[in-house]
Structures are given as structure tokens and as C-alpha cells.
Chains A and B, each alone.
Chain A
Amino acid sequence: EDQVTQSPEALRLQEGESSSLNCSYTVSGLRGLFWYRQDPGKGPEFLFTLYSAGEEKEKERLKATLTKKESFLHITAPKPEDSATYLCAVRVYTGGFKTIFGAGTRLFVKA
């Protein structure tokens, strides 16, 4: 069964304390992996798309990487405004396209 697992469920950091969020997947027919940011009570905001192992994408303090089994979202020197839930999703093709979301990692950054 296709599955996407994000860890940790919640992460508390001090401002400036770099860390990584993990998204592991067991799927067949991967067609892309996506990262989103979601603030409470709002819709997700698209961050990155990764297609193949070894690929990396960066945006401000965020850097996403992809291997054959997992993706990492690295946060360098986070600020309080980076506090949000970060969602990972994979797009697979098994006779038809399907997008599967992980449960998310809630990040809290304290000043």
C-alpha cells in the first residue's frame, strides 16, 4: 500500500537552531514529491517539487532534498515566522495519477 510518513509530528526549535524534517515514502510509480507550508486555519502554500533522487531545491531558509526513499526539508537558522505545519505529498501513477499527503510536521520556533 502506498504510504507517506512524516517525522517528527511536532518539532520545537529555538530561533537560529537549524534542523530537518523528514518525509519517507513507500510507493510505486513515483512521479514527484512536493512540500507545502500550512498556517493554522489556512490553505497550504506550495514550496517545492522534487522529481528524482539527488535533486535539491532551495528557497530562503529552506532546502529540500530527495533520495529514493525519503525527502528532507532542512531549515537553516529558523525564525519565529517559520512556525507552521509542513506537509509532504507524493504523486504516483498506478494506472492513474494519485496524490498522497503525509500528516505533516508542526514546527514551532521560539524567539
Chain B
Amino acid sequence: GAVVSQHPSWVICKSGTSVKIECRSLDFQATTMFWYRQFPKQSLMLMATSNEGSKATYEQGVEKDKFLINHASLTLSTLTVTSAHPEDSSFYICSARGLRSRAGEQYFGPGTRLTVT
């Protein structure tokens, strides 16, 4: 149980274009979803937290107009990187919590590797 999927697993896009990443909870209802980015050999950096049906809360320094997050249902959240640039290339990981999740427990997706050329 508690499986989270991401799609696509990797994507290459040209500079200036937008790319959407999906995060789905497959066997539970995700009341809260988190989006992280991770650079090679570095730890996770939380970008934003989203609760179903409400606006995402962005961490300090994360541009909300560049990284659009939508959490329209209890099983799906999307992250859209708008006008992507090479410095946006990174590993993007989502995680989810449900009503029955123990405090602090998050189930992570497999990640999406974004390369902007």
C-alpha cells in the first residue's frame, strides 16, 4: 500500500518551453502532497506543499509563477515548470500523505528527471 507514481520518469525539453509533471497516489487519498527538487549528490529541497482543493504554499525563494502546482483531486497533483531554463534541470520528486499517515510519514514517488537544453 501507499504507492505514489510520477509521470514522466524523465523528460527533455527546450529552453523557453513548459513541462508538466504528474504525481498520483495509487491506493490512498492524498490530502497533502509535497514537491521537492534534488540536485546531484545533494539533499532534497522542499519547493511547495499543496493541500487538495487549495492553493499551494511555496517555500521561501521558490517562484510560484514559475513552478505552478495544482492539486485538484485527492489522487493527483501536477507541477508545471513554465518557461524552463537549463538551470531548472534537476530531479523533481513528489511525496504524499493521507489521513491515515502517521505524523511525519510521507510516501515518495520515483522522481522525474528534467533536462532543459
Using a CB–CB distance below 8 Å, which chain A residues touch chain B?
Answer: 31-32, 34, 36, 41-46, 49, 51, 87, 89, 91, 99, 101-104
Contacts and interface: CB of A to CB of B under 8 A. Distances in A.
A31 to B, nearest CB: 8
Contacts of B94: 43
Given A43-B108, A43-B109, A46-B105, A103 B93 contact: no
Interface stretch (B12-20, B42-50, B73-81): B42-50
Interface in B10-53: 42-46
Nearest to A34: B104
B103 A43 contact: no
A85 B7 CA distance: 23
Contacts, number: 46
A1 to B, nearest CB: 13
A91 B4 CA distance: 22
A14 B93 CA distance: 31
25 contacts: A31-B104, A32-B103, A34-B104, A41-B113, A42-B110, A42-B111, A43-B6, A43-B93, A43-B94, A43-B95, A43-B109, A43-B110, A44-B93, A44-B95, A44-B108, A45-B108, A46-B106, A49-B103, A49-B104, A87-B44, A91-B104, A101-B43, A101-B44, A101-B46, A102-B43
B contact patch SS: strand
Q: On chain B, which size bracket covers the interface? A: 20 to 34
Closest 8 CB pairs of A and B: A43-B108, A101-B43, A49-B104, A32-B104, A103-B43, A101-B44, A43-B93, A44-B108
Nearest to B109: A43
Contacts of A36: 108
Nearest to A87: B43
A46 B111 contact: no
A33 to B, nearest CB: 8
B67 interface: no
A99 to B, nearest CB: 6
